[in-house]
Structure 1
Amino acid sequence: MVIIVLMVVGCLGVRAQAPHIYEHTYPVVASENPQIRALMDSVAIDSIEAYIEHLCSYHNRRYDSRYIWEVQDWLVSRYQAFGVDTVMLHDFPVPDSTIETADNIIAVQWGAKTPQEFVVCGAHYDSWNDDGEDPDTIRSPGADDNASGVAGILETARLLSHYTFDRSIIYANWCAEEIGLVGSAAYARDMAEQGMDIVGYFNLDMTGYLQEGSDIHVHLMYTTQDSTIADYVYGFSHTYFPDMPIHQDWLAWGDSDYSSFNRNGYPAVHPFEDVRASSPYIHSRQDVLGLSVNSLEQSKRFTELNLGLVATLAGLQNHDVIENECITIALYPNPAKESVTILADDELQHVTVINLIGQSLAHNVVRENNKYVLDINQFPSGIYLLKISTKRGTATQRLVVL
């Protein structure tokens, strides 16, 4: 959570927001989906605690410290271990700093039906301490701000990575949030300029502090223009957590990464712990488990909410009912340099090449054949997604172009 000095209460609600780049409708959640409920019930409080403990074990996670690279490597290794399809770094410039660039971590789980549409959830992984200047000596554990949020994103990825969704999901960790949302702002701006279709962004930042005597509740931050996606959050929360209060509120003293998205034309919301009774220990050595994160049960609830919102909006496919027979597809060679052969056990109909931001680069019609040779000479080196349609259904395959 980045601190903004002399902010007037409520002013975030009237900040200018860019018009939405794309318009989407959101589900009306009037009853529970048993599969979604089962996934939410699988959120493990022990996993959340372990993630927070590990992130706090680094001397600090300041964006310009030598430790941040170790944190980055560990986060990348987690998404890879979960089996998320594509894990990459988004490099961005850091102005007025001792370092030139820093990295966001972007883990993509490709959708099966509309992979060019993305549901994004994210949390910043850098920490801060107001009491020191030397990035390599200052202690900044950052338990609530924001190991708690990162833990929620990791747990969401751990569970959802085993399932198939209509839309693509991005699990993101932002860097340099504490000096002005720098990482998320760079990513949202870059994606908007390239026309990426982000259906919704869900932010986790500070989920673990609960004032003594209080019950778990959610303060939801969003702008007026994003009231439609907020209505989706309210409806979902009231259905799955009918006894948990949730309402709109605003911070008097700070901002977070959801603002980077709504300022670039993407619908975004930020569930937060109590805005008037949030952790008093952030940005200090005392932002630790037990003191600053004193309610792992609340962090678990925020994670369940995030997971359910993402899974529902991304379109969890029914794993109990197989609508189409399994399609077997082979790509060879892969990686490839000039062409790749696609071989299916069904008659091919269409092959679409999609880049990592969801843009359709080529659409090829295949007629009455289960084999197709795709020319890839025009594509620069990198990772692409092939959306392959047959008579029985659609499948996606990852292609590496050398």
Structure 2
Amino acid sequence: MRRRLAVALSASLAATAVAAPPMAPPATQALLHDIGTAPSAARIEADIRKLVSYGTRHTLSDTESDTRGIGAARRWIHAEFERISSQCGGCLDVIDVAGTISGEQRIPDPTEVVSVLAIQRGTSDPGRYVIMSGDIDSRVSDVMDFTSDSPGANDNASGVAGTLEAARILSKHGFPGTIVYAALSGEEQGLFGGKIVAAKAHAEGWRIEAVLNNDMIGNIAGLNGVVDNTTARVFAEGTRATETTDEAKQRRFTGGEVDSPTRNLARYIDRMADLYVPNLDVMMVYRLDRFGRGGHHRPFNDLGYPAVRVMETNENYQRQHQDLRTEDGIAYGDVIEGVDFDYVAKLTALNAVSLAGMASAPPPPADVTIEGAVSADTTLKWQRAPASQAPHLAGYKVYWRLTTEPQWTHGFYVGDVAQHTLKNVVIDNYFFGVAAVGKDGSESPVVFPGAAGSFGGYGAP
């Protein structure tokens, strides 16, 4: 009898061992906790003051002077990226990306639009890119006025200063994926800098996982009377602009309107704020941009890349696109007094932890599919990343949520496998996704099944 009991107990323990879930990597990363508090408000203030000192950075302004105009500003940005690179042993490739624009409503005469990029090459997956950007140019009330003083302190010296500071912090570390720090020109005249850089990325086959466009990240006092330094907005479009007719037909029956890669990028940024940036909450806005307005993430969205706008929650329209003046006791103009440098540092931290998290993690899973119609179970399948691109891959995590939930609410690590079946989780009731997990606990954004949620795979986009 004792022998039979021992055999039965041994069999039971063996079955338990087989059924036990795989050991998950760490839930958070110590490095990201450090990055989440690393940005310096003092350094950011110095950068914003330097950019304001050029008087105007209008796209059509002086390009020859060393003290005034957009030419002087972009040369200083280039030199600052080079200085940052010198402190990390030349880890940044600093390049100017230019194109000549003419015959446009806001650029009628031939004008060279020059953006400055600093590229931190990935150690194992350099063809995968995450990008942070800010806009160099500024404007006053008349979009064609390129001679009047246009400080552009918040719009958008704050975004450029945040991008420079992120480069200072992240260039001290190596990451598997490539990080690009971009100062883009021509935004106010028609998003031309972004269009030129996005076209370059597409032509060269960059596998862009994310674009974080920072446009106005320094104002905390809204025209609505709200003063708030604890929230940020992330604008994220739904259905891809490049969706085909067949893909739209499939999406009608399988869902995905709120699960484009851009929306799941926004969810990722929201999660990183909760984990790593003290006293900051992200408001996800399900829209390409503010109502009827635009930003430099849009040219990337237009080509099908995941791209969001990161910005302050409360805007003061008296400090945007305004001539410097005082009327009825109200001071108009985008002056430096309207910028909260601690807040810029906080939103810079949000960008930095998101960039570092994605660049650390394996690439998002490719070819994610789902099965489970007329069944009690749901099965997800995906393609494992090539070992050369993901030598630090630990495995994958499956996620699901009610269709009305904005954020992923359920998930668990399933190990280094290429499919998983969720028993008694009915496909009709939830949305599902899969993320790649690194050995250090880093995660990719969640990928929704099918073309609607694809991040582009492991090859060219």
Instruction: Find the aligned partners of 2:279 and 2:169 in 1 and give their Cα distance.
Output: 25
4+ residue runs over 6 A deviation: none
Whose relative contact order is higher, 1 or 2, with alpha carbons under 8 Å and at least 6 apart? Answer: 1
> 3-state DSSP class of the match of 1:127?
coil
* 1:156 counterpart = 2:166: yes
Contact kept in structure 1, 2:60 and 2:111, CA below 8 Å: no
- The Cα shift of 1:216 comes to 2.2
- Trace 1:46-85 onto structure 2 (pairs within 5 A): 46-66=42-62, 67-83=69-85, 84-85=91-92
**Out of 331, 336, 339, which is 1:289 matched to?**
336
**Out of 355, 362, 376, which is 1:310 matched to?**
355
TM-score for both structures, normalised by structure 2:
0.59
**Out of 280, 283, 296, which is 1:244 matched to?**
280
* 1:262 counterpart = 2:276: no
Instruction: Find the aligned partners of 1:182 and 1:82 in 2 and give their Cα distance.
Output: 26
Instruction: Find the aligned partners of 2:154 and 2:211 in 1 and give their Cα distance.
Output: 21
* 1:220 counterpart = 2:230: no
> 3-state DSSP class of the match of 2:188?
helix
Which residue number in structure 1 is paired with residue 205 of structure 2? 195
Structure number with bigger Rg: 2
Instruction: Find the aligned partners of 2:211 and 2:193 in 1 and give their Cα distance.
Output: 15
Instruction: Find the aligned partners of 1:30 and 1:124 in 2 and give their Cα distance.
Output: 37
The one-letter code matched in structure 1 to 2:280 is M
**Out of 79, 95, 101, which is 1:94 matched to?**
101
CA pair 117-132 structure 1, distance change in 2 beyond 3 A: closer
- The Cα shift of 1:233 comes to 1.1
CA pair 273-56 structure 1, distance change in 2 beyond 3 A: same
The one-letter code matched in structure 1 to 2:351 is N
CA pair 106-148 structure 1, distance change in 2 beyond 3 A: same
Larger deviation: 181-190 or 211-220?
211-220
- The Cα shift of 1:99 comes to 3.3
- The Cα shift of 1:74 comes to 0.3
* Aligned length, in residue pairs: 287
- The Cα shift of 1:133 comes to 4.3
Which residue number in structure 2 is paired with residue 298 of structure 1? 343
- The Cα shift of 1:263 comes to 1.0
- The Cα shift of 1:85 comes to 2.3
Listed as ranges, the gaps of 5+ residues in structure 2 are 1-23, 63-68, 86-90, 239-259, 325-332, 363-387, 389-461
Question: CA deviation digits over 1:151-200, x for unaligned, max 9?
Answer: 00000001111211111111111100001111101211232233221111
CA RMSD in angstroms comes to 2.3
Listed as ranges, the gaps of 5+ residues in structure 1 are 1-27, 318-349, 351-402
CA pair 100-242 structure 1, distance change in 2 beyond 3 A: closer
Instruction: Find the aligned partners of 1:132 and 1:234 in 2 and give their Cα distance.
Output: 34
Contact kept in structure 2, 1:82 and 1:157, CA below 8 Å: yes
Which residue number in structure 2 is paired with residue 42 of structure 1? 38
Larger deviation: 184-193 or 144-153?
184-193
Instruction: Find the aligned partners of 1:215 and 1:31 in 2 and give their Cα distance.
Output: 28
Question: CA deviation digits over 1:304-323, x for unaligned, max 9?
Answer: 00111111111189xxxxxx
> 3-state DSSP class of the match of 1:140?
coil
Contact kept in structure 2, 1:222 and 1:268, CA below 8 Å: yes
Which residue number in structure 2 is paired with residue 355 of structure 1? none
Which residue number in structure 2 is paired with residue 113 of structure 1? 124
The one-letter code matched in structure 1 to 2:313 is D
Question: CA deviation digits over 1:343-395, x for unaligned, max 9?
Answer: xxxxxxx9xxxxxxxxxxxxxxxxxxxxxxxxxxxxxxxxxxxxxxxxxxxxx
- The Cα shift of 1:127 comes to 0.5
Which residue number in structure 1 is paired with residue 265 of structure 2? 229
Contact kept in structure 2, 1:31 and 1:239, CA below 8 Å: no
Contact kept in structure 1, 2:143 and 2:188, CA below 8 Å: no
Question: CA deviation digits over 1:253-274, x for unaligned, max 9?
Answer: 4211111111111111112112
The one-letter code matched in structure 1 to 2:164 is L
- The Cα shift of 1:213 comes to 3.4
CA pair 119-73 structure 1, distance change in 2 beyond 3 A: same
The one-letter code matched in structure 2 to 1:105 is V
- Trace 1:311-350 onto structure 2 (pairs within 5 A): 311-315=356-360
- The Cα shift of 1:201 comes to 0.7
Instruction: Find the aligned partners of 2:357 and 2:192 in 1 and give their Cα distance.
Output: 29
* 1:145 counterpart = 2:155: yes
TM-score for both structures, normalised by structure 1:
0.67
The one-letter code matched in structure 2 to 1:308 is V
